[in-house]
Each structure stands twice: as structure tokens, then as C-alpha cells.
């Protein structure tokens, strides 16, 4: 199942820089491993925002929920999640 996920990150302004940097480093490693596994298909930064648009390819809602809750920045995020379905007018034979 494919999902479009918009992630807005709001790290508290009073968080020590060292703490924020450590969380971001852990987040980067976690997200890159999910990308290597093919679970996190696409990742785009939204210009001018601390936000991204991502496409996930997972088995079900529960797997997506587990992955998102595993993000080290999850406690500082607001998420918008949209399940995606193939459009009948698409000329592609797959979802790549």
C-alpha cells in the first residue's frame, strides 16, 4: 500500500542544540535504512519549511503507524496521511 505523508516538524525552541542534533542524526539513520528497505520510497523537502513530503510503501496501516511512531522526531511532528490508489488513467504499468 502506498501512502503520501506530510510531516511538519516543530522542535521546541528551548531544546538544547546537542539534544536536537543527536535526535536528527538518529532520525537520518532510521529514515535512510527504511529507504534502503524500500519502505520509504520518496522523500522531498518542502522549501522554506521544516517539513517534508514522503511516499511510503508498506503492507498496511499498522505497519505505517509503527514506522512513523519509530521516528525519533515523531513527538515533535504533525502528520497528514493520505492512502494512495492507482488511477485508472495512469499510463504506467506499475507504481514506480
Domains contained in the chain, number: 1
Q: What is the predicted pLDDT for the residue at 6? A: 98
Residue 94 maps to a domain:
no
Q: What is the predicted pLDDT for the residue at 92? A: 84
Range of the domain at 75: 2-84
**Sequence-separated (6 or more) residues with CB below 8 Å from residue 51:** 6, 7, 8, 9, 45
Q: How confident is the model at residue 96 (pLDDT cuts 50, 70, 90)?
A: low
Cα–chain-centroid distance for residue 92?
Answer: 24
Residue 62 maps to a domain:
yes
CATH number at residue 51: 3.30.70.1060
Residue 75 gets which letter from DSSP?
Answer: G
Q: Averaged over 11-28, what is the pLDDT?
A: 97
Amino acid at each position: 500500500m502506498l501512502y503520501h505523508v506530510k510531516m511538519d516538524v516543530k522542535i521546541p525552541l528551548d531544546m538544547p542544540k546537542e539534544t536536537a542534533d543527536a535526535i536528527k542524526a538518529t532520525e537520518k539513520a532510521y529514515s535512510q535504512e527504511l529507504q534502503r528497505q524500500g519502505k520509504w520510497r520518496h522523500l522531498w523537502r518542502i522549501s522554506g519549511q521544516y517539513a517534508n513530503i514522503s511516499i511510503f510503501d508498506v503492507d498496511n496501516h499498522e505497519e505505517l503507524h509503527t514506522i512513523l511512531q519509530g521516528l525519533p522526531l515523531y513527538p515533535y511532528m504533525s502528520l497528514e496521511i493520505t492512502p494512495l490508489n492507482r488511477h485508472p488513467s495512469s499510463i504506467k504499468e506499475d507504481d514506480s
